[in-house]
Amino acid sequence: MDEAKLEARAKRTLSALECDNAELSVWLCDDEQIGLIHDQYFGDPAPTNVISFAQNEGEWGEIDPEMLGDVVISFETAARDAKEAASDIDDEICFLLIHGILHLMGYDHEGDRACDAPEMEKREEELFILVTDDLEHSA
């Protein structure tokens, strides 16, 4: 996995969302680690592809508005999904990163706000094209 490419794509995604000064942490882990996190916070021990933790929510959310939060991505799940879709692992991780960032920005596709799913999917696609095309042309 190309870490420099991931960092550039994260910065381009944040810029496209007008969050140029935002802080974000990204952790690539394995299925076991993300399964533990998934279980601890969501009561489901099964590995998942991406989990986001917003830092701008709750009682202390206004302390540092530039701190968006954390995106945790399972490299193993991303690799399986990329292989199944016959796509590039860097692109799959980029898509998951965009998905996680959109969650940090308040988009949701589950639970009470499941009606946001079509809007979120559209935004994911727009950002993915913008971020990956932009990188290809700048290389």
Mean pLDDT of all residues belonging to the chain = 86
Q: How far apart are CA 88 and CA 47, in angstroms?
A: 21
Bridge partners of 28, per DSSP, are: 73
* DSSP classification of residue 107: -
pLDDT of residue 109: 67
Dihedrals phi, psi of 45, to nearest 5 degrees: -75, -5
The secondary structure of 20-48 as a DSSP string is TT-EEEEEEE-HHHHHHHHHHHHS--S--
pTM for this one? 0.86
Q: Do 75 and 34 meet the contact criterion of CB atoms below 8 Å apart?
A: no
Type of residue at 27: W
pLDDT in tens, 8-66: 999 999 999 999 889 999 999 999 999 999 999 999 999 999 999 988 665 655 655 67
* DSSP classification of residue 52: E
Q: Domains of the chain (ranges plus CATH)? A: 3-134 (3.40.390.30)
